[in-house]
Structure 1
Amino acid sequence: MKSKNLKVILTSRPVGEATSECFSIIEEDLTALSPGEVRIANESLSVDAAIRTMLRGEGFHMQMGIGDTIFAGGVGRIVESTVDGWDVGRAVRGPLGAQSFAALSTEHLELIEESNLPLSVNLGILGGSTGVTAWIGVKKVARPNPGDLFVVSAAAGAVGSIAGQIAQKEGAKVIGIAGGKRKISHLLNDLKFEAAIDYKSEDVRAKLAELAPNGVNGFFDNVGGDILDAVLENLALRSRVTICGAVSQYNDMDHVQGPSSYLKLAERQSAMEGFAYFHYPEFIKPAEEELRQWLHEGSIKLAEEVIDGIEKFPEALAFMFSGGNLGKLLVKVR
């Protein structure tokens, strides 16, 4: 086993975009484990939009201090252990951080059931911030009915693409909003969505009015800003808007652009509700079980975009906010 740990730390708080100048890559010696800890050789790390909100110093999500290792959920294998039952070689999932090795108490970790699937599915389809979020958001918050026109923003991203597929399983007709020809092709040809709108080259308001002349019945929003307003302008009567995220706003949380068309909710007798998956702890296990079943059946899929090297983690975060990734964005450590 290597004796050095390579990790990404926060060196300054971003103003606007989180550029590479806000981070440093440092190497340090591995220290001895404390009782109750295991050491994990990290394999894959999840790059999530919420990480940007953790760099501010204050906010809803946990915050990182200057000099802290950048937070990241991850999967890896135990290479050293002080705990019975947590044997070397076992796969684990947890808040491993943007580093090559993590030393953590087992109370913060989950042992992963071995299968013929790659470990990364535990960050994607089976991950709390991805598949479980989509499952809870669609089935317990949005609750689409068969035949509904159901819109998903950031539909080619990790949460959006799974949310759209789950809405299809509920009998809804899904319209995905994404940016660029590659993503639109993925939504139409791979995920078989009813329709897709390229926000980079099309007028979202006008296209929605064309695709849904009687309005849309549900909206699963991951973007906020202008996209949220465009859908609010096209609501059907008694529709439901579900706020999962607002990636367009995370670079300037002190000046969040609220929906200027919110009065459409009153005009259309509609409702808007936000959520996070951990607000529904009683549904996490059922979500994981059904997602795992669909995964083994092959009835749900999630593309992966993988960037190699822990030193590329800041680059991966910037890539996500440029709208570059298709599906789940991961950093492969080893």
Structure 2
Amino acid sequence: MTNTYSGTDKIFAIAPMIDWTDRHCRFFHRQLTRRALLYTEMVVADGIIHGDPVRLLGFDAAEHPVALQLGGSEPDKLAEAVRISAGFGYDEINLNVGCPSDRVQSGAFGACLMREPELVGDCVAAMKAVSTVPVTVKCRLGVDDQDTETALSALAERVIEAGADAVWVHARKAWLEGLSPKENRDIPPLDYDRVYRLKQDYPNVFIGINGGIADLNQALEHLIHVDGVMLGRAAYHNASLLAEVDRTIFGEDAGETDWAGLCATMMDYAERHIAGGGRLAHVTRHMVGLFQGVRGARRYRQILSTDAARPGVGPEVIAAAFAEIDMTDLTAAA
């Protein structure tokens, strides 16, 4: 493991997304980009302490660098979750202070913690005391009627004092009253300038930005102002853009993507997952967004969405889907 935040390089990350960025999704994304920082779904500290850590925390070594996002609001429990996770080898531990879902609010953590910067600072301090890897925070600009100038500053000041190695900011408020989690991803207006001002206030602290970023050109624009950029739905629904991350963001000449090699790797991975008692669809559901706009993509999606869900099918379904893609389109795009 290396300290992701110890160097001067910018960071490109794929956001933690509940029900999406599981271990199969992360393995797939890693085949497309060597440099992106991957995040788990949010894992609740209580679940780690009282549940099955292997099921909740296990991942493939190929996923590195990978960060574990924790949900919780009790410093002692978060510290215990960090201790348990240490044996799994994550490169970073991230505290969720941004999720607006009802089930998160009912547990008194997530975005509602924007109202309690002192408590968040205590949580970060407890996590830092037992962690051997960077501890970071992902937050919103504020919640409900909070003033985003004072709310974000108060949260950032406290967690930085507590030793947070980075602050990732989703550049929207969260409205905990009146908006669903889905609406909270689109309706509250984006305010990127507020995140830029936070970076100006903390020039020596890593500040990353998230929210509504659609492509790598927009990512590059943000990286003029902040240290890191995080894509969520755009990366998931159009995974092909990840094949350009290492070249576009980091200036690496990785050559043309080996699409046949990707197919073979995912078939092998799926075969191992099925042999362990899993289903093909657990893997292929994350691959549907590949090849947007390429001839054959519609049939590709149909095969992975329909055929892969049938009982008893194997990794040959992945080969059948890839066979529908006109690879000359991909070569021309490169």
Give the strand-richer structure, 1 or 2: 1
TM-score bracket relative to the smaller structure: under 0.3
Give the helix-richer structure, 1 or 2: 2
Q: Comparing both chains, which one has the higher relative contact order based on Cα–Cα distances under 8 Å and sequence gaps of 6 or more? A: 1
> What TM-score do you get using the length of structure 1 for normalisation?
0.26
